[in-house]
Amino acid sequence: MVDRFAEFKELKNIDKTTMISVLEESFRNVLAKMFGTDENFDVIMNPDKGDCEIYQNLLVVPDGDVENPVTQISLTEAREIDPECEVGEDVAKEIIFANFGRRAILTLRQTLQSKILDLQNDALFSKFKELEGEIITGEVHQIWKREMLLMDEDQNELIMPKEEQIPSDFFHKGDIVRAIVKTVDNPNGKPKIIVSRTDERFLRRLFEQEVPEIHDGLITIKKVARIPGERAKIAVESYDDRIDPVGACVGIKGARIHGIVRELKNENIDVLNYTANPTLMIQRALSPAHVNSIRLNEEDKKAEVFLHPDEVSLAIGKGGYNIRLASMLTGFTIDVYRDIAPDEEDIYLDEFADEIEPWVIETLKDMGLATAKAVLNAPRETLITQADLEEDTVDKILAVLRAEFED
């Protein structure tokens, strides 16, 4: 019997010792149901023989005085087991479990299956809990509207919700997918493994795999900011002056970073040198724009960045991604302003609060357009699409701003 359960080591990832313990506990549970208790029973597992022995320890009482057959045995019956036993002694009566019939065996099987399932789930939960934040590979098994089911090499189920997929991801059944184990929960005792391709840790692990210096600890990833499928910024640092951390991450002719970019569906990745100096870090984070000056409010984590008018659009970036990532990377709320020459007249948008709705002003400022001329110099189409404003609204704003300068 025990040898047969050794098969579960391969199928259920449960070792033989644990399996024997579970088998003994299952027998005891069934005995407790049958006799009302298992306290006076010995269950002996024999792994070498592959069998199980069960003994019921009974108190020998005079014939006719048996009040509880679960704990007592008459002297005559006891001497059939041990001819030399006397009243007041204990005698061990062997229990042949198979003699209790089909119902008892069925109960044992159900109890054992339940405990094996619990053990399997516990082992699965522990295994994947240790893998949180690590890359795993799975095969696409089924695709639904809101999530996708992957199966790993051991046929464990991995769930990838739609929001954990890169927007440009498009998979078919049978495709091999790489992702990180994001979370592992255990609702109702059944592990639920969520994997992700949008988590910033996925980008970190890809760099660790592609860049030996990161894997070996010679280069450290200090900060990561990411808009999945669009753009990412990663700040790296080396404690060895002989190693160029940016060059090592990019590789010769971009060889190292190209593989990561392909995996992330052509996500644009900027690698920059980390610094603890917030002013310098903000300058680097806003690359490729060139910053003229920065005014910091470290207490409120706000930064006012002044650039040449031609650099403002670069700092903001397509879709506002560059400035958003710079803010995420540095931890500062960044507002960009055109650095106006002393003889160049301009007016901050806040001065138009009586004529332009405050929420519209804030929307324009979020795009890095904090002054009247910054808005007037921005393409009309950009104002409509990025600010999500009606064409009539944009035209009225432009008219108000132009009128100020015409006056």
Q: Are residues 45 and 143 in the same domain?
A: no
End-to-end CA distance of the chain: 98
What is the mean predicted confidence (pLDDT) over 153-159?
93
Q: Are residues 92 and 190 in the same domain?
A: no
Domain assignment of residue 356, given as a range: 349-406
Q: Are residues 8 and 117 in the same domain?
A: yes
For the chain, percent of residues with pLDDT exceeding 70:
94
Cβ–Cβ contacts within 10 Å for residue 358, how many?
11
The pLDDT of residue 376 is 85
pLDDT at 395 > cutoff 50: yes
Q: Are residues 13 and 115 in the same domain?
A: yes
DSSP 8-state code for residue 350: G
Q: What is the pTM of this model?
A: 0.67
pLDDT at 148 > cutoff 90: yes
Domains in the chain, number: 3
Q: Are residues 70 and 92 in the same domain?
A: yes
Q: Are residues 50 and 165 in the same domain?
A: no
- Peptide bond preceding 288 in cis form (omega within 30 of 0): yes
DSSP-based three-state secondary structure for 292: strand
pLDDT at 1 > cutoff 50: no
* 326: phi then psi, degrees, rounded to nearest 5: -60, -40
The pLDDT of residue 2 is 46
Annotate 356-382 with three-state secondary structure. Answer: CCHHHHHHHHHCCCCEHHHHHHCCHHH
Tell me the average pLDDT of the chain: 87
Q: What's the rounded Cα separation, in Å, for the pair 223 and 200?
A: 10
Closest of 224, 173, 176 to residue 202, by C-alpha = 224
49 confidence band (pLDDT: 50, 70, 90): low
DSSP-based three-state secondary structure for 181: strand
Domain boundary among 145, 170, 198: 198
Q: Are residues 27 and 115 in the same domain?
A: yes
The answer to whether 2 and 45 are in contact (CB under 8 A) is yes
Higher confidence at residue 380 or residue 196? Answer: 196
What is the mean predicted confidence (pLDDT) over 118-146?
92
pLDDT digits (tens, 9 = 90+) for 256-305: 999 999 999 999 999 999 999 999 999 999 999 999 889 999 899 999 99
What is the mean predicted confidence (pLDDT) over 85-91?
91
Q: Are residues 108 and 192 in the same domain?
A: no
Domain boundary among 126, 154, 182: 126
Domain boundary among 126, 154, 169: 126
The enclosing domain of 395 has a CATH number of 1.10.150
Closest of 162, 366, 367, 364 to residue 397, by C-alpha = 364
Q: What's the rounded Cα separation, in Å, for the pair 59 and 199?
A: 66
Q: How many helices (H) and strands (E) does the chain have?
A: 16, 15
The pLDDT of residue 12 is 53
Tokens 């990411």, residue located: 226
22 confidence band (pLDDT: 50, 70, 90): confident
Tokens 């399997």, residue located: 120
Q: Are residues 52 and 88 in the same domain?
A: yes
Q: Are residues 54 and 137 in the same domain?
A: no
Around 113, how many Cα atoms within 13 Å sit in the side-chain half-sphere? 6
CA distances (Å), origin 113, targets 5, 19, 26, 197, 318 = 11, 11, 9, 36, 58
DSSP-based three-state secondary structure for 60: strand
For β-strands 51-61 and 90-95, DSSP reports them as antiparallel
